[in-house]
Amino acid sequence: MNTLTAGTPAPNFSLLDQDGNTVTLQDFKGKKVLFYFYPKAMTPGCTVQAQGLRDTKAELDAHNVVVLGVSIDPVKRLGKFIERDSLNFTLLSDEDHAVADQFGVWARRSSWAKCTTACTVLAF
Protein backbone atom coordinates (compact mmCIF):
# COMPACT_ATOMS: atom_id res chain seq x y z
CA MET A 1 0.00 0.00 0.00
CA ASN A 2 1.31 3.44 -0.98
CA THR A 3 0.76 6.35 1.37
CA LEU A 4 0.36 9.82 -0.06
CA THR A 5 2.43 12.35 1.87
CA ALA A 6 2.47 16.15 1.89
CA GLY A 7 4.29 17.58 -1.10
CA THR A 8 3.97 14.40 -3.14
CA PRO A 9 2.13 14.87 -6.44
CA ALA A 10 -1.31 13.28 -6.35
CA PRO A 11 -1.72 10.18 -8.49
CA ASN A 12 -3.67 10.77 -11.65
CA PHE A 13 -7.06 9.10 -11.76
CA SER A 14 -9.96 8.54 -14.10
CA LEU A 15 -13.26 7.48 -12.49
CA LEU A 16 -16.95 7.57 -13.33
CA ASP A 17 -19.16 9.98 -11.41
CA GLN A 18 -22.71 9.38 -10.20
CA ASP A 19 -24.02 10.17 -13.71
CA GLY A 20 -21.58 7.88 -15.53
CA ASN A 21 -19.34 10.75 -16.72
CA THR A 22 -15.56 10.31 -16.66
CA VAL A 23 -13.76 12.56 -14.18
CA THR A 24 -9.97 12.94 -14.11
CA LEU A 25 -7.55 14.79 -11.88
CA GLN A 26 -6.70 17.14 -14.75
CA ASP A 27 -10.32 18.38 -14.77
CA PHE A 28 -9.46 20.33 -11.60
CA LYS A 29 -6.15 21.91 -12.56
CA GLY A 30 -5.69 25.18 -10.69
CA LYS A 31 -8.24 24.28 -8.01
CA LYS A 32 -8.08 22.86 -4.51
CA VAL A 33 -9.72 19.46 -4.26
CA LEU A 34 -10.97 17.82 -1.08
CA PHE A 35 -10.72 14.19 -2.15
CA TYR A 36 -12.28 11.92 0.44
CA PHE A 37 -12.71 8.18 0.53
CA TYR A 38 -15.57 6.45 2.32
CA PRO A 39 -16.34 2.73 2.65
CA LYS A 40 -19.96 2.47 1.47
CA ALA A 41 -22.73 4.83 0.42
CA MET A 42 -25.87 5.08 2.54
CA THR A 43 -24.36 3.51 5.65
CA PRO A 44 -24.77 5.42 8.93
CA GLY A 45 -21.20 6.71 9.35
CA CYS A 46 -20.69 7.53 5.68
CA THR A 47 -24.04 9.33 5.58
CA VAL A 48 -23.11 11.56 8.52
CA GLN A 49 -19.75 12.33 6.90
CA ALA A 50 -21.35 13.19 3.54
CA GLN A 51 -24.03 15.34 5.18
CA GLY A 52 -21.33 17.26 7.04
CA LEU A 53 -19.56 18.05 3.78
CA ARG A 54 -22.89 18.94 2.18
CA ASP A 55 -23.68 21.33 5.02
CA THR A 56 -20.29 23.10 4.83
CA LYS A 57 -20.15 23.26 1.03
CA ALA A 58 -20.78 27.04 0.90
CA GLU A 59 -17.75 27.61 3.13
CA LEU A 60 -15.64 25.27 1.02
CA ASP A 61 -16.82 27.03 -2.15
CA ALA A 62 -15.72 30.36 -0.64
CA HIS A 63 -12.20 28.92 -0.43
CA ASN A 64 -12.37 27.55 -4.00
CA VAL A 65 -12.40 23.93 -2.77
CA VAL A 66 -14.03 21.24 -4.89
CA VAL A 67 -15.36 18.19 -3.00
CA LEU A 68 -15.05 14.71 -4.51
CA GLY A 69 -16.20 11.63 -2.59
CA VAL A 70 -14.81 8.25 -3.65
CA SER A 71 -16.07 4.77 -2.77
CA ILE A 72 -16.11 1.28 -4.22
CA ASP A 73 -19.85 1.57 -4.81
CA PRO A 74 -21.21 1.20 -8.35
CA VAL A 75 -22.29 4.35 -10.20
CA LYS A 76 -26.01 3.59 -9.74
CA ARG A 77 -25.69 3.50 -5.93
CA LEU A 78 -23.86 6.85 -5.92
CA GLY A 79 -26.75 8.53 -7.71
CA LYS A 80 -29.18 7.13 -5.17
CA PHE A 81 -27.00 8.40 -2.31
CA ILE A 82 -26.90 11.92 -3.80
CA GLU A 83 -30.65 11.95 -4.33
CA ARG A 84 -31.56 10.49 -0.93
CA ASP A 85 -29.34 12.89 1.04
CA SER A 86 -29.45 15.95 -1.24
CA LEU A 87 -25.67 15.85 -1.61
CA ASN A 88 -24.27 18.85 -3.48
CA PHE A 89 -20.92 17.49 -4.60
CA THR A 90 -19.59 14.82 -6.94
CA LEU A 91 -19.25 11.16 -5.97
CA LEU A 92 -16.89 8.87 -7.85
CA SER A 93 -16.99 5.09 -8.29
CA ASP A 94 -13.76 3.15 -7.66
CA GLU A 95 -15.23 -0.36 -7.84
CA ASP A 96 -11.87 -2.08 -8.33
CA HIS A 97 -10.30 0.14 -5.60
CA ALA A 98 -7.40 1.02 -7.92
CA VAL A 99 -7.50 4.71 -6.96
CA ALA A 100 -7.87 3.90 -3.26
CA ASP A 101 -4.73 1.76 -3.67
CA GLN A 102 -2.89 4.68 -5.33
CA PHE A 103 -3.81 6.99 -2.45
CA GLY A 104 -2.89 4.39 0.17
CA VAL A 105 -6.31 4.05 1.77
CA TRP A 106 -7.27 0.51 0.80
CA ALA A 107 -6.77 -2.10 3.52
CA ARG A 108 -7.80 -5.69 4.17
CA ARG A 109 -9.52 -6.50 7.42
CA SER A 110 -10.24 -10.12 8.30
CA SER A 111 -11.49 -11.83 5.18
CA TRP A 112 -13.28 -8.72 3.89
CA ALA A 113 -11.69 -5.87 1.99
CA LYS A 114 -12.57 -2.48 3.43
CA CYS A 115 -11.75 1.01 2.30
CA THR A 116 -10.71 3.09 5.24
CA THR A 117 -12.16 6.58 5.49
CA ALA A 118 -9.53 9.09 4.51
CA CYS A 119 -9.50 12.69 3.43
CA THR A 120 -6.88 14.39 1.28
CA VAL A 121 -6.81 17.99 0.10
CA LEU A 122 -5.07 18.32 -3.23
CA ALA A 123 -3.88 21.62 -4.61
CA PHE A 124 -2.31 21.94 -8.02
For the annotated catalytic residues, the residue numbers are 46
Strand partners, 107: 114
Q: How many angstroms separate the CA atoms of 108 and 48, rounded? A: 23
**Strand order of the sheet with strand 90-93?**
22-24, 14-17, 90-93, 65-71, 32-37, 118-123
Residues 112 and 114: their CA atoms lie apart, in Å, by 6
Residue pair 110/5 in contact (Cβ under 8 Å)? The answer is: no
Q: 103, 112, 110, 104: which is closest to 40 by C-alpha?
A: 112
